[in-house]
Structure 1
Amino acid sequence: MLEGIGVETVAVDPRSAEVGANFDWLTSVGARLSWVETQPSTGRAIAVLSASTGLTGYSVPGGSVGSSLHAYGGMPHLFAPSGALVAVDAATGRLITPFGHTGDDGFTYGDLAGCGDEMLAVREHERGDQLVALDRASGELRVLLTTDGFLASPRFHEGRLAWTRWTNDVMPWDSCEIWIANYTPGQDLSRPRRLAGGPTESAIQPCWGIDGTLYFMSDRSGWWNLYRWRNGPVEAVAPMSAECATAPWESGYTNFALLPAGQVVMTVQSGPEQQLLVVERDGASRVIQTPYTSTKPYIAATGNRVAFIGASPTRAPEIAVATTDGSDKIEIIRRSTTRVEEPAASTPELHRVSTGGGTTITVLLYPPSPVEGRLPPLIVRPHAGPTYHSEFRLDREVQFFTSRGFAVAEVDYRGSTGYGRTFRKALDGNWGRFDVEDCRNAALHLIASGRVCPDAVFISGASAGGYTALKAVCEDGPFALAVARSAIIDPERWRTTAPRFQRPHATILASATSPVVAAAVRQQVLLVHGAADQVAPVDDADELATALRQRGLLAGLVRFDGVGHYLSGSAQQVALDAELATYRKALLDLGIVMPA
């Protein structure tokens, strides 16, 4: 039963977004576009609806639009063709509708999708997931499907409903199924059946074409590629040795869009770089030439054009629309205000480095800007996840350090996405080993090539990357200090403290031979942690800080009250300043003075 008040309108600057604004969850609403936009000045995230007359912003009363479905989120807003909004309150997980909100029912909502006169959503409880339908006219909420595992991506088209599901002992990028059923809004599901996916296949992102063909991504070939089905065998649309989907950390990703003329536009990732590809009806394909190297997994068709959120090492994320007729014209829909006094960005060099495992990893090296004429200190940054990849786009944290004389190396270690299923799964059972080996080899490669100072090499990671950083200083060289932010510290304990979604991840990744970090660390460590972290409990950081302090190895503990797993705004800046001060002290101890 719904109760209370609904969404509220908020002011939106029609010229540009604020400095540091971010854009997510882009989708189309008829001829219009909508997205979620952060407002750094208020700390809020709002839903924005564009039209020829301008922009309209909406938010939940006193809060932000956002979802923590499955810990990391799912599509948190849905505009009806009329413009009416249903959204999720980021703070409570409740569904906010024109009729009111869902109250304190114990569920977290997300993954909103349209369904004729209804709206579909996934809601989560500690006991499992439910697929629910909300009647747009009456506000009645009905449960369509219940599981003790996970559900995502409900998609409806003319009497059929598709969705994904996976069991509670796997991750969706390892094993995920696509199901379909007959469905009439207002009634129950009938004849549910599995279409794709299984124990060794991740099938994700179902999407119906206007002719009733179901498109989806599957890694059955070893790469996430596009497939389609229509009352017959499943067939590949554009087979290639490249990754065409993003690991489903959040529910509702869309790495492709179906255009009215039968074309498909999709992202294609080879290593860290992403491109947009148009696939014609006859299977021919071509790249859309854009100035972007990174595209978020929210692709939306708007007529015969495609809308997306693109970025590059010199451009912050912006919402753009591209033509698909071969002219490759780009229209910028929304970008943040830029500061004219910002220094020139350091752009990355791509390095291929051999590992101890006989494979090759990719390293993005950002030289200091400007170059001081001497070998710079190096910060190696293993990405978070760990089932993810280094972003090939402008990163304010990287630029913070390169503009102060440091070189920064981002490492796509074994286990990263963008390199196929085999590479992605190489870290299973080897977390804290292969990732550390690859980060060490990346640093040694840059030292041997004469690019960085061999005595001033540091490692810094967040979340899962924080665990990699900690493990890297549990052995000798080349790292003189580690920074661990929002770090997972004890993988064995994390199997019980991790969010429900990620508990299988901890089991799959864990190495049976991993020693306890507190007793094995050999170098100084700076710990940065939010006291309200729901992914990596702060108690683990406090215990590690105590143990390191007793051993004289604690460089510092920065603890933020009321801050969760992700640092932003003032907390992020305080953390960066503390990290910089820690590096400078370590360098002074080595007799190296960095410029102010």
Structure 2
Amino acid sequence: MWSYGEMDRLRAATKSDHVESPVSIEQVGQRTRSFDWLSASGQALHWVESVPSRGGSVVGTWTQARGLQLGTVDVGNSVHAYGGGPYAASSGGIWTTTAADGQIWLNDKIQYTRDQRQHGDLVFNDGLLLAVRESSDRDQLIAINPATHRTQVIHEASFIASPRLNRGRLTWMQWGSAVMPWDSAEVWVADYDPAGSLTRMKLIAGGPDESASQPRWGPDGHLYFMSDRSGWWNLYRTAGQAIVPVAAMQAECAPAPWELGYSTYAFLPQGRLAVITQVGPESRLALVAGDGTWHDLPTPYTSLKPYLAAADDRLSVIGSAPAISQQIALVPTSGTDQIEVVRHSNEDPQAVSCVSVPEEISVPSGGADVTVIFYPAQGIGPRRPTPVIVRAHAGPTYQAEIRLDWEVQFFTSRGFAVADVDYRGSTGYGRTYRKALDGRWGELDVIDCQNAARHLIHTGCAMPTAIFITGASAGGYTALKAVCTPDTPFALAVARSAIINPGDWITTAPRFQRPHAAILSHPNADVTPDEVCRPVAMIHGGADTVAPAADAVDLAASLKSRGLLANLVVLPDVGHYLRSPQAIKAALDAELAAYRTVLTDLGL
């Protein structure tokens, strides 16, 4: 775990006062390989690995004996728009969903589904493959028998996730069509009949004011799950007719379930458990004893993805830190520091020899204390005014992360400081903070970002005339709204894949996300061109199905007529996420050019 004293030493060690050469756009694109959906089966680790050179993802498998093997077929799905759980390991091989159409295959050779619907959240239990299949208006929980190729629909609901089967007992989570799963979700159990019917269905946890998720059967036969009934997502289990906390703490032990397949706790030998915890922007590992006592397990990571699996007495994690690029590692639970790194996202050991290391700043804002992760410009020295880029994360229910971000380093190596803001609505601060943005989107997040900017100006970290705001998706919306007040401290907004009209978004958003638009929105939520007070640059994917590109084109036309359009870049055949090196290059080119135009006009 990095303490901030250790970060001070790291800042000195990484020569943040000297820049040998700026991070190039090509280097950013090359270093965007990432890992997700890590799991363990027997002696093997499995994960999904992005391949930037082809804009797709493959399944990776590692064993001590055979080393690394990478699949050749692009895997993925778009269940609930954001997808997840695109593979499952079994004794018969690897089950996957194909990125092209969301269909289920075994070992990339045998196709088990053939329809227009998306499949995801794959898991292999009791000799059956379980999966979630999404239709236009509801979900189906299906079971596939590998021997007979028979597909059974065993349950239907508006939204379903996390099916788990153990000796004829089935559990899953579900939620209604008018809510988001981080606000209200339920965990159910039932008896599963081999003929495909469910009996003795019972609601275990969840309701209008409780989000319950990640149900799993423990080695002890009890049902475990996450719930935020205390105000924090903590781990619980059933004990007869009672529900008891496994380890109560003021920390988030689960993320907002945007994607399928999250797993933030793991069962260990001797009745122990491990949990990923998050307090503010920092992730940690906690070891939980059988009596509920727990302690932090030291690691070098400050950011852990929401995938945790036990491999005997070790924990497999996807971790990163300010000077550690994303890696898959095996962490011993015995207290030793012999961490085994299985896979690096960046194979160049010199790549992190000179990076900007952040500090955490608390900024008062509207009665709340808002966390800002501040990366100083390289080559400038501490606490000297520089151009600053304030970033609104792509939440709203997400958070800033303390990790090596090559887009941040791209700008800090060019004399910009970067400030990530955990505005109200972010995860990592409990349910009350997370729900503060309901009905106040484009207001409280904007106030928090503006107050962060003013704080950086007041403390001498930012040039008053050269402070910018940027964001993607929901963060792009926040960036646009942040330049809609006459007293804004921002000289320019850069919006990537931005949501522009929340009122319309209630009907144009993917089915999964429409309730979110309604929950967040209010009569004055839309970005009104006449209210924009500063220049705006926009980068948008032409094939974006989450935030329609037509909205960006319309806004750009209005801003151009008022002389406030800095640039509009529409990337053909690119969706909501800019994943390919080509799309990233185009976005960074446009963003840097917009900032430099402002600086040139200022004589800087």
Q: Kindly state the Cα deviation for residue 323 of structure 1 after the two structures are TM-superposed.
A: 1.1
- What residue in structure 1 maps to residue 577 of structure 2? 566
1:326/1:184 Cα in 2 relative to 1: closer, same or farther (>3 Å)? farther
User: Aligned pair 1:22/2:34, yes or no?
Assistant: yes
1:201/1:121 Cα in 2 relative to 1: closer, same or farther (>3 Å)? same
User: Aligned pair 1:49/2:61, yes or no?
Assistant: yes
User: Aligned pair 1:65/2:75, yes or no?
Assistant: yes
Structure 1: how far apart are the matches of 2:79 and 2:495? 26
Q: Which has the higher contact order (CA 8 A, sep 6+)?
A: 2
Report the residue type matching 1:543 in the other structure. Answer: D
Match of 2:342 among 333, 341, 355: 333
Structure 2: how far apart are the matches of 1:533 and 1:257? 36
- What residue in structure 2 maps to residue 130 of structure 1? 140
- What residue in structure 2 maps to residue 5 of structure 1? none
Structure 1 unmatched runs, 5+: 1-17
- What residue in structure 1 maps to residue 371 of structure 2? 362
- What residue in structure 2 maps to residue 4 of structure 1? none
Q: Mapping of 1:44-123 within 5 angstroms?
A: 44-51=56-63, 52-60=65-73, 64-82=74-92, 84-97=93-106, 100-102=110-112, 104-123=114-133
Structure 2: how far apart are the matches of 1:372 and 1:423? 34
User: Aligned pair 1:284/2:293, yes or no?
Assistant: yes
Match of 1:512 among 501, 523, 531: 523
Q: Kindly state the Cα deviation for residue 140 of structure 1 after the two structures are TM-superposed.
A: 1.4
TM-score by length of 1: 0.93
Q: Kindly state the Cα deviation for residue 511 of structure 1 after the two structures are TM-superposed.
A: 2.1
What is the DSSP-based 3-state SS (H/G/I as helix, E as strand, rest coil) of the residue aligned with 2:291?
coil
8 Å CA contact 2:216–2:224 kept in 1: the answer is yes
Q: Kindly state the Cα deviation for residue 251 of structure 1 after the two structures are TM-superposed.
A: 1.2
Structure 1: how far apart are the matches of 2:547 and 2:252? 29
Q: Mapping of 1:379-398 within 5 angstroms?
A: 379-398=389-408
Q: Kindly state the Cα deviation for residue 110 of structure 1 after the two structures are TM-superposed.
A: 0.3
1:121/1:507 Cα in 2 relative to 1: closer, same or farther (>3 Å)? same
8 Å CA contact 1:288–1:328 kept in 2: the answer is no
| Percent of paired sites with the same residue | 52
Q: Kindly state the Cα deviation for residue 96 of structure 1 after the two structures are TM-superposed.
A: 1.8
Match of 1:298 among 289, 304, 307: 307
1:528/1:19 Cα in 2 relative to 1: closer, same or farther (>3 Å)? closer
1:59/1:527 Cα in 2 relative to 1: closer, same or farther (>3 Å)? same
- What residue in structure 2 maps to residue 238 of structure 1? 247
- What residue in structure 1 maps to residue 222 of structure 2? 213
Q: Kindly state the Cα deviation for residue 66 of structure 1 after the two structures are TM-superposed.
A: 1.1
What is the DSSP-based 3-state SS (H/G/I as helix, E as strand, rest coil) of the residue aligned with 2:221?
coil
Query: Comparing 99-108 with 213-222, which one deviates more in the overlay?
Result: 99-108
Report the residue type matching 2:436 in the other structure. Answer: A
Structure 1: how far apart are the matches of 2:207 and 2:511? 21
User: Aligned pair 1:532/2:543, yes or no?
Assistant: yes
Q: Kindly state the Cα deviation for residue 102 of structure 1 after the two structures are TM-superposed.
A: 4.8
What is the DSSP-based 3-state SS (H/G/I as helix, E as strand, rest coil) of the residue aligned with 1:454?
strand
Q: Kindly state the Cα deviation for residue 409 of structure 1 after the two structures are TM-superposed.
A: 0.6
Report Cα offsets for 1:416-441 as digits up to 9, x if no partner: 00000000000000000000000000
Structure 2: how far apart are the matches of 1:278 and 1:224? 16
User: Aligned pair 1:460/2:473, yes or no?
Assistant: no
Q: Mapping of 1:578-589 within 5 angstroms?
A: 578-589=590-601
User: Aligned pair 1:318/2:331, yes or no?
Assistant: no
8 Å CA contact 2:356–2:377 kept in 1: the answer is yes
8 Å CA contact 2:457–2:463 kept in 1: the answer is yes
Structure 2: how far apart are the matches of 1:544 and 1:339? 44
User: Aligned pair 1:308/2:317, yes or no?
Assistant: yes
Structure 1: how far apart are the matches of 2:562 and 2:166? 62
Report the residue type matching 1:371 in the other structure. Answer: I
8 Å CA contact 2:40–2:46 kept in 1: the answer is yes
- What residue in structure 2 maps to residue 541 of structure 1? 552
What is the DSSP-based 3-state SS (H/G/I as helix, E as strand, rest coil) of the residue aligned with 2:260?
coil
Structure 1: how far apart are the matches of 2:458 and 2:106? 59
- What residue in structure 1 maps to residue 448 of structure 2? 438
Match of 1:485 among 476, 491, 496: 496
- What residue in structure 2 maps to residue 195 of structure 1? 204
Q: Kindly state the Cα deviation for residue 328 of structure 1 after the two structures are TM-superposed.
A: 4.2
Q: Kindly state the Cα deviation for residue 325 of structure 1 after the two structures are TM-superposed.
A: 2.0
TM-score by length of 2: 0.92
Structure 2 unmatched runs, 5+: 1-29
Structure 2: how far apart are the matches of 1:186 and 1:42? 43
Report Cα offsets for 1:173-193 as digits up to 9, x if no partner: 000000000114453211111
Match of 2:256 among 239, 247, 257: 247
Report the residue type matching 2:52 in the other structure. Answer: P
What is the DSSP-based 3-state SS (H/G/I as helix, E as strand, rest coil) of the residue aligned with 1:26?
strand
Aligned residues: 569
8 Å CA contact 2:61–2:68 kept in 1: the answer is yes
Structure 2: how far apart are the matches of 1:21 and 1:185? 42
User: Aligned pair 1:502/2:513, yes or no?
Assistant: yes
Query: Comparing 87-96 with 402-411, which one deviates more in the overlay?
Result: 87-96
Report Cα offsets for 1:490-528 as digits up to 9, x if no partner: 000110110000000000000223354222111100010
- What residue in structure 2 maps to residue 10 of structure 1? none
1:408/1:192 Cα in 2 relative to 1: closer, same or farther (>3 Å)? same
Q: Kindly state the Cα deviation for residue 240 of structure 1 after the two structures are TM-superposed.
A: 1.0
Report the residue type matching 2:256 in the other structure. Answer: A
Report Cα offsets for 1:3-53 as digits up to 9, x if no partner: xxxxxxxxxxxxxxx843211110011221100111223333111122222
1:589/1:372 Cα in 2 relative to 1: closer, same or farther (>3 Å)? farther
